[in-house]
Amino acid sequence: MKWETVIGLETHVELSTKSKIFCGCTTAFGGEPNTHCCPVCTGQPGSLPVLNRQAVEYAVKAGLVLNCRINKYSRMDRKHYVYPDLPKAYQISQYDRPLCTGGYVELKNGRRINITRIHIEEDAGKLIHAGGKVLVDYNRGGVPLIEIVSEPDIRSAEEAVEYLEKLQLTLRAAGVSDCRMQEGSLRCDVNISLRAPGASSYGTRCEIKNLNSFVSVASAIEHEYERQRDILESGGVVEQETRRYDAYSGETSAMRGKENADDYRYFREPDIISIVLTDEEIEALRASLPELPDARKRRYVDVLGIPEADAAMIAKYRRVSDYFEAASYQTASPRIAATFIVTSMFSFISTEAAREEWLPPVSAEQLRELILLMEAGKINRNVAKQTLSRMLETGKSAAELLSPEELEPAGVDVDALCRKAIAENAAAASDYRGGKEKALKALIGAVMKESRGRAPAAEVEASLKELLSKT
């Protein structure tokens, strides 16, 4: 029997503030264990929290770009549970008065994954299992988080991954988080249940905690589908529980019984005043938002004529998008800048992290100058591409690298070069006359080599065809 998978995601996103949510400790990733903490974020007696205003503003921006309703009144609550990574034995979070409600993420197929709520809270510390011991690093404790809770609208592992990728792309573009899963700034809990096709009620759900890669999310969902299917088809009952995922085995295993809200004994945080926002404050934050990736991609395709695949790759990274727009400003064909970025520059800057940072040795102005030389007819595309490679390797501008001879392609005698290529490559010329079209490429290559790439390729091809037809 083919069961319907019902999935809801709880996505934890660390906000890109410089300091923690309730104290002045740094949020920088890494550092020696337990050096980025203080009495407030480790819950020492007598210490009191002070809410970070920028964390609230970033959370509002996240709600706006995810189509949420921003609640002008919200408040903080205490969520109680006992675990070594939480020194206070409670987490300051939000319960019945979250900052954002509603909202959605739209998938490529047009389906909307609805968002229940986005609330702010503090992160917990990190447990490290080593040599049979469990160590605790509180550096991460108190880092500001938003938790984005989806409705159970997801129906497959593929949809779950697409939803998360869209979240990552959108929140990065908004500047509220770097969403680096490898550093834990985007983590995901998956709630999954199965039901018979056409059934209106949900099955018993299990929660898989702390998944930190798209591959792990997909694999955990697929394994959990098979596990729950086998239980149901053998006449058993799925138990509501929290499970962990092992990336090495690709399997999930039980951690504990699944908690309900009343297990956490929520009550209002007495040490933090309510959050009250005005319409003017919300609209000011809305006005500060950049153009989002989907809108940028559509504009690149519809207005600038960029191929869709190239437009998607450029729009994926906010800094790359800004660089592209500066490099293509007032050029005749922005498509040239796009092509150079997604070919030569992406080959040189190949990792996701480096593309997010986007600090190429070639400035946008230097790339623009190279493109303008090409558009002015002073160099052809081959020379421009070769020059860009040298610019990336040296950090020098095109003007510093190109010789006066390379800037004078008009001085190239294309017909003379073509006659020479035919004379020196008689076999290729004979093959072409005999009907082998591919042989022409060898002759074109000989001309381009002799001219050091300065001869216009289209003119070379036309000249060779004319000469070969006469002899």
**360-402 tens-digit pLDDT:** 999 999 999 999 988 887 888 888 898 999 999 999 999 898 8
What is the model's pLDDT at position 409? 54
Name which residue leads in pLDDT, 450 or 32.
32
pLDDT(199) > 90 = no
pLDDT band at 113; cut points 50, 70, 90? very high
What is the model's pLDDT at position 412? 67
Structural domain of residue 398, as residue ranges? 291-409
Backbone angles phi, psi at 315, to 5 degrees: -70, -15
pLDDT(66) > 70 = yes
CATH number at residue 422: 1.10.10
Q: Are residues 423 and 384 in the same domain?
A: no
Q: Are residues 421 and 456 in the same domain?
A: yes
What is the model's pLDDT at position 170? 95
pLDDT(17) > 90 = yes
pLDDT band at 90; cut points 50, 70, 90? very high
**Among 284, 314, 331, residue at a domain's last position:** 284
What is the model's pLDDT at position 152? 96
**Among 255, 284, 313, residue at a domain's last position:** 284
Q: Are residues 10 and 124 in the same domain?
A: yes
Q: What percent of the chain has pLDDT over 70?
A: 97
pLDDT(174) > 90 = yes
Nearest to 320 by CA among 381, 287, 364, 278: 364
pLDDT band at 106; cut points 50, 70, 90? very high
Name which residue leads in pLDDT, 427 or 113.
113
Q: Are residues 385 and 450 in the same domain?
A: no
pLDDT(261) > 70 = no
Q: Are residues 404 and 417 in the same domain?
A: no
pLDDT band at 339; cut points 50, 70, 90? very high
- 178-190 pLDDT, tens digit per residue, is 998 888 899 999 9
- 304-315 pLDDT, tens digit per residue, is 999 999 999 999
What is the model's pLDDT at position 411? 56
Tell me the average pLDDT across 138-166: 96
State the pTM of this model.
Answer: 0.81
pLDDT(115) > 90 = yes
Tell me the average pLDDT across 401-416: 72
What is the model's pLDDT at position 463? 86
Q: Are residues 55 and 172 in the same domain?
A: yes
What is the model's pLDDT at position 252? 86
pLDDT(221) > 90 = yes
What is the model's pLDDT at position 408? 61
Q: Are residues 224 and 351 in the same domain?
A: no
- 411-423 pLDDT, tens digit per residue, is 567 888 888 888 8
**Least confident among 135-144, 149-158, 246-255, 446-455:** 446-455
Tokens of 103: 């909202």
Residue 111, CA atoms < 13 Å, CB-side half-sphere: 13
Q: Are residues 157 and 135 in the same domain?
A: yes
What is the model's pLDDT at position 103? 96
Tell me the average pLDDT across 46-67: 96
Q: Are residues 242 and 372 in the same domain?
A: no
pLDDT band at 130; cut points 50, 70, 90? confident
Q: Are residues 172 and 93 in the same domain?
A: yes
Tell me the average pLDDT across 281-302: 95
Q: Are residues 275 and 308 in the same domain?
A: no
**Among 284, 312, 342, residue at a domain's last position:** 284
Mean pLDDT, the chain, rounded, equals 91
Q: Are residues 135 and 29 in the same domain?
A: yes
What is the model's pLDDT at position 461? 85
Number of domains in the chain: 3
